[in-house]
Structure formats: structure tokens, C-alpha cells
A and B are shown apart, each in its own frame.
Chain A
Amino acid sequence: MEPRIPERFRERYLPVVDDPDAFLACLGELTPKSFRVNTLKSSVAEVQARFAGYGIGIRQTGWCPEAFVSDVPELGGTLEHFLGSIYLQELASMLPPVLVRKELETARLVLDACAAPGSKTTQMAAIMRNKGMIVANDIDYSRIRALKFNMEKTGTINTIITNQNLLHFPAQLQFDAVLLDAPCSGEGTIRKTDSVLQEWSERVIEGHSHRQKQLIVKAFDLLAPGGVMVYSTCTLAPEENEGVVDTLLRERKDARLENVSVPGFRLSPAIMEWDGAQFSEEVSKVARVWPHHNNTDGFFLAMVRK
């Protein structure tokens, strides 16, 4: 059943999505239950064997060996969940660390700029095998408790938590990799979060866009020369995605985009023109995730090199 989607939402996206019927139908279905094997505590083979023993069907994704979809919703009641050997996480939300897996494997200093509740922080720590250091920052102190809990549950050691407005972050810190998973209007999470549509408006989108443009420039400034930044959101709004990346390219001439590619996962091209504005040709290197293509949340990814 389709959720009650505002007319203006339809007007914005149905003309730019490849299959409007599939898109709308998908928004009315819950996302499948998915999880990531936490290799700080277990191995893919061990978790597969345990789930086979339970009789729970799980399917490994073709684009991330640690990512699985499950037939059974009660993953939270498994021993593996208790132990922190698996981490319940929506598939699209696993993409940013996967995109820079090679860089993370050798990175010494990494910034997760808007880290709470820590899904991507703990995923990056696993890729880094608890080596190097992650600075996991969040402006909202009330969300740091969840971040801390997830770090402890997953056995994440190589991370410190900071509680600061990113815009005030010490300029002398220079990171090998930065993840800016920016606060956003969350349109991509409609499938699991009813409140997104209730609170949806273009005014909300504009507010997020304004802030995201400040954050992306600051996050880029914290990147060491040669470093890589991933900018991601869980929204479909071009004002919060392509428009934000376009602003960075105009404000920082040393910012270079790299093609976003995750072999085995279907990514879609950027929206290059929106609301009368034409984005830089370079913006074509970013990628969108439409929910109906991979049966996930909607998502956006850009990879920036300094």
C-alpha cells in the first residue's frame, strides 16, 4: 500500500525517476531486515554457520561481503546480536564506508563528522581493524550515549568521541578521510519512518540544504591534501545532494570529485538540473540510490578528493 505522499513530493520526483509506479509501490513496503557482520568480533563464515544452525535464511549481498539480508525479522533476538557479532543496519547506510574501503584500510586519522548513533563509525572501525584513529563527532550530546553504546557493543577501540558543532572544529586537525553523513530531511527513509512524510516540506529541505552547504565546506577544509571525503545523505532532494556538492565545487577550487562506483550495487546518475539551476558538469560523478532499484532506502553519495 502506498503511503500518503504529499502531492508536491510526487510533482518533484515522479518526472525524474525512471519507473514512477515501481518507485511509489516500493515506498509502501518496509525495507528488508539487514545486518552487517562485525569483523571485530566474528567472521562472515562463523555467522553464516550459526544462522544456518538456527534455520534462519540469510543472503549475502554481492557488493559487500559483510552485508546480509534476512528472511526473519527477529534478528535482535539472536546470540550474535547480543554479542555484537552482527550489527543491524539498513543496506544503503553501509555504502559510504564501502565506497572508501581501500582508503580506510590504511588511514591513520579519520573523521566521522556527524557520527551518532555510530552505524558507520563502527563499520569504519571494523574495516580499519581497530587500527589508526577515528574521531567520531556529533553536535547533539543526547545522541552521544547511543554512539558510545554502539561503540562498546561492537568492540570499537580506535575511536574517540567529540561533542562539537563541526563548524567550530579545530582547523589544525587534518584527516586522511572524512565522512560527512549529513543531517537531512530523510526522504529516503520513508519506508521505515512515518514521521518523515508528516514533517515533509520544501521549507525543511531548504533549511537542511543551507546547513549542509556550510558543513561540506568545513569538512573539506579538515581534509589533508590527498585525502578523501564521502558526502552522503538519506534524502532524495537535489537541494540537499547535487546542489550541496555543486556549492563545494564553486567555493573550493581544489575539490575534485571522483566517480562513485560500488560493483554489484545499482547506482543511478545525478540530477544535473533542478528548479532552473544547472549544476557543474563535474557533479555528474556523484550517485543516487533510488529505493526500488536495490530494495533499500533512498540514498546519495559523493566522493571528493583534495
Chain B
Amino acid sequence: MRRRITDSQYKAGKEAPAPSAADVLLYLEERFGLERALFSDYGLYATSKGRIYIGPKRLVNHPRIATVGLLIARSQGAIKPSTNLLQLFGRQVKKNYVVLGRENAATFIGGTDVKVTSGEKGDASDGYVLVRYLDFSLGCGMLHGSDVRNMLPKAKRLKIAYI
């Protein structure tokens, strides 16, 4: 279960400590080719648990903010991009993506790990990748050789009938 983010973890109008937010932006640019300008209209906010959120540029002064915008990455140790981020900005991803066929895509959406051919893998290197079907961004996977480990949140997994 997701822990509640306490009020004190957000400060109105105060963005995340620069290194943490900067690290995530640098990672997204280097790993996926997502340019910083994509996020320039928004603010980045960090929690003490190493979660990075993208939200409105400035927050209102409210004593009981429960959460802000969209979780884009977790950064305990290695940075892990969220499926929500990759779905929303997936069309701007320029590298480190795999493109699944129809059957594999349905399997992946259902929450199962999949294997990719060299054609599906393209130039992607081991590590977190965007998983695509046609030009649809399905979410995050972890590529290791020809294996794509399923990183979809459990709540998002779906037995798909129409794809």
C-alpha cells in the first residue's frame, strides 16, 4: 500500500533539491532522449522517500497537501522511470525502446515478462526501456538481453480484449 505523503514533505512553492531533480532530468535525457524543455512548464518535487513528482510550477499555500501531480521516477539507488511518465511522454522518447508485436503486447499489458527479437529490441541497451506497441507507449520494462521484465504497476495490468 502506498504510504501517505505527509504535509511536511511538500513546501509550497519550493521545488525539489536541485541535485535530485537535476539527476532525474539528466537521466531522462541521456537514457530516453527526453529533452528538459518538455518539463519546463512544470515543477519537480521530491519526497524524502526518493520519489520525484512533476506538478504545477508553483504550489498553493495549503496545510494538507496529500500529493502533487504525477510520479515520474523513484530514485533510491538507481533512478527508475514510472510507467505513467513513459506513457505520457512516450512519443518523445528517441532511444532505448522496444517495439512489441500484437501478441507480445497483450501479454505485457497482462503483467507478464516477454522476450524480444533483435528486431523488436533495435538499438536498446540493457536497463529500463520504454515498451511500445505500434506507436503506443505501454510503459516501463527492464531489458536484460532478450528478456523484458514487466515493470507495469499491478493496478494497471489488464487482460486485454481489444488491441
| A189 within 8 A of partner (CB) | no
Q: A54-B162, A155-B88, A160-B65 are in contact. Are A82 and B4 (CB under 8 A)?
A: no
Counting CB contacts under 8 A, is A244 at the interface?
no
Which residue from B54, B64, B133, B155 sits with its C-beta under 8 Å from A157? B54
Interface size bracket, A side: 35 or more
Report the separation of the CA atoms of residues A173 and B66 in the bound assembly, to the nearest whole angstrom: 17
Q: List 17 additional contacts besides A40-B88, A155-B87; criterion CB under 8 Å.
A: A77-B158, A79-B109, A83-B136, A132-B56, A145-B2, A148-B67, A152-B84, A153-B84, A155-B84, A158-B55, A158-B69, A160-B62, A161-B66, A162-B66, A170-B63, A173-B60, A173-B61
B59 interface hit (Cβ, 8 Å): yes
A157 touches B136 (CB 8 A): no
Known: A160-B65, A160-B67. A82 touches B60 (CB 8 A): no
Residue in chain B with minimal CB distance to A159: B69
Q: What's the Cα separation between A136 and B125 when bound, in Å?
A: 40
A48 in the interface (beta carbon within 8 A): no
Question: A82–B160 contact, CB under 8 A?
Answer: yes
Q: Distance in Å from the Cβ of A33 to the closest Cβ of chain B?
A: 13
Interface membership of chain B positions 41-61, coded 1 if the CB is closer than 8 angstroms to chain A and 0 otherwise: 110000000000011101111
> Within 8 Å CB of A156, what residues of B?
69-70
Highest count of chain A CB atoms <10 Å: which of B42, B67, B88, B162: B162
> Which one of A77, A133, A135 lies within 8 Å of B161 (CB-CB)?
A77
In the assembled complex, which residues on chain B have CB atoms less than 8 Å from the CB atom of A157?
Answer: 42, 54-56, 69-70, 88
Q: How far is the CA of A173 from the CA of B136 in the complex (A)?
A: 40
Q: Assess whether A163 is interfacial by the CB under 8 Å rule.
A: yes
Asked if B156 CB lies within 8 Å of chain A CBs, one says yes
Q: Is A256 close to B, CB under 8 A? A: no
**Once bound together, how far apart are the Cα atoms of A109 and B58, in whole Å?**
11
A161 touches B65 (CB 8 A): yes
Contacts of B130 in A (CB 8 A): none
Give Cα A116–Cα B84 distance, bound, in whole angstroms. 19
Is there contact, CB below 8 Å, between A77 and B60? no
Residues of B within 8 A of A41 (CB): 87-88
Residues of A near B159 (CB, < 8 A) are 77
The 8 closest A-B pairs by CB, nearest first: A77-B161, A155-B88, A133-B56, A78-B162, A163-B66, A152-B84, A54-B162, A161-B66
A131 at the interface (CB under 8 A from B): yes
Are A151 and B70 also in contact (CB < 8 A) when A83-B136, A157-B54, A163-B64 are? yes
Task: State in angstroms the CA–CA spacing of A131 and B64 once bound together.
Answer: 22
Those of B53-95 within 8 Å (CB) of chain A? 54-56, 58-71, 82, 84, 87-88
Give the residues from 228 to 247 in chain A that come closer than 8 angstroms, CB to CB, to chain B. none
**Is B60 a contact of A141 with CB atoms below 8 Å?**
no
Q: B79 to chain A: closest CB distance in Å? A: 18
**Cβ of B163 under 8 Å from chain A:** yes
Chain A residue numbers with a CB within 8 Å of B68 are 160-161
Query: In the complex the two chains form, what is the Cα distance from A160 to B45 in whole Å?
Result: 12
Contacts of A173 in B (CB 8 A): 60-62
In the complex, A83 Cα to B60 Cα: how many Å? 30
A64 within 8 Å of B (CB atoms): no
* Cβ proximity bits A122-153 to B, threshold 8 Å, 1 near / 0 not: 00000000011101000001001100110111
Q: Which residues of B contact A78 (CB under 8 A)?
A: 160-163
Contact B61 A170 (CB under 8 A): yes
